[in-house]
Amino acid sequence: MGAKEKTLSNQYEHLRQEYTAFKEKLEAATEVGKAGADHVNVMATEYAETTEQLKKTKGVMDERGAKMTDTLPLVHIKNALKALVAESKNFELRIGVVNNHTLLSGQCR
């Protein structure tokens, strides 16, 4: 029985060596695959972070752009200035009327 086992072992030794070599190649390829998968995960995380930062930056830029093109405060300021000018003219007219009345009442006496 032992001689038959040795004969079979010797007969299939080259197949065992091929199997061992293929197994080592498979293990090496598996390691490379795991390393690649880990790298992909790291890159995907970095991509997600970069995308989130880009969204925040775009939001800030859109907000700044909207503030720059928003002319409503300037319109309110211009309207307030127009109202002040009109009110000032009205007061000047009243002052003139009072001065005129004062002068006329002083002449009548």
Give tens-digit pLDDT for 19-32. 999 999 999 999 99
Per domain, the residue ranges of the chain are 1-69, 71-109
For residue 12, give the DSSP letter. Answer: T
pTM higher than 0.85 for the full model? no
Q: Helix axis angle, 13-69 relative to 2-11, nearest 10°?
A: 50
What's phi and psi for 12, nearest 5 deg? -105, 15
- List, for residues 60-72, the tens digit of each pLDDT value: 998 888 777 778 8
Q: What is the end-to-end Cα distance of the chain in Å, rounded?
A: 156
Residue among 39, 42, 41, 19 at smallest CA distance from 31: 39
